[in-house]
Amino acid sequence: MKVDFFNDVIVKGTKNGLNVTWMLAKVIIPVYFIVTFLDATPVIGWIARGMEPIMSLAGLPGQASIPLVVGNLIGLYAGIGAIKAISFTTREITIMAVMLSFSHALPLETAVTQKIGVKGLPVILTRIGLAVVSGIAVNLLL
């Protein structure tokens, strides 16, 4: 089987890359704008002050609760959009990335696990528990 480099590799690869970029942009850009808008209002400050004691366990500011909640409810890409909309240090982004790697898109992924017969609540608690423990551990290591 002969491979047509231009059509099979370049054209198809470019189309696939653009499709993935469009798919990600449809999630990241709206979340980025919403969080940026909220950041210009007192809303983020209210949430941050309320969440500061809990977030400090993982060495994060209260504002970190926004991308963590968005990522847990919607998915990783939405969480990334929220992270990008608020100023965080590299260290804080690293901690949030580790936490979101364990716990993201909880409603969708829990529904999928329930379809195969796994109870949802233990899955959610395990994933959130791993996220919290990993956030605390990474905070202590960095």
Q: Is position 7 within any domain?
A: no
Q: CA 95 to CA 2: how far, in whole Å?
A: 47
With residues binned 3-state (H G I as helix, E B as strand, rest as coil), the percentages for the chain, rounded to 5, are: 85, 0, 15
Give per-residue pLDDT as tens, 110-139.
988 998 999 999 999 999 999 999 999 999
Q: Is position 77 within any domain?
A: yes
Q: Please enumerate in sequence order all residues whose Cβ is within 8 A of that of 86, keeping only pairs 6 or more positions apart, or say none.
A: 35, 39, 44, 63, 66, 67
Q: Is position 4 within any domain?
A: no
Give per-residue pLDDT as tens, 61-114.
999 999 999 999 988 999 999 999 999 999 999 999 999 999 999 998 998 899
Give per-residue pLDDT as tens, 19-60.
989 988 888 888 888 888 887 888 888 888 888 999 999 999
Q: Please state the domain count of the chain.
A: 1
Range of the domain at 48: 28-141
| DSSP class per residue in 92-105 | HHHHHHHHHHHS--
Please say whether the beta carbons of 78 and 28 come within 8 A. yes
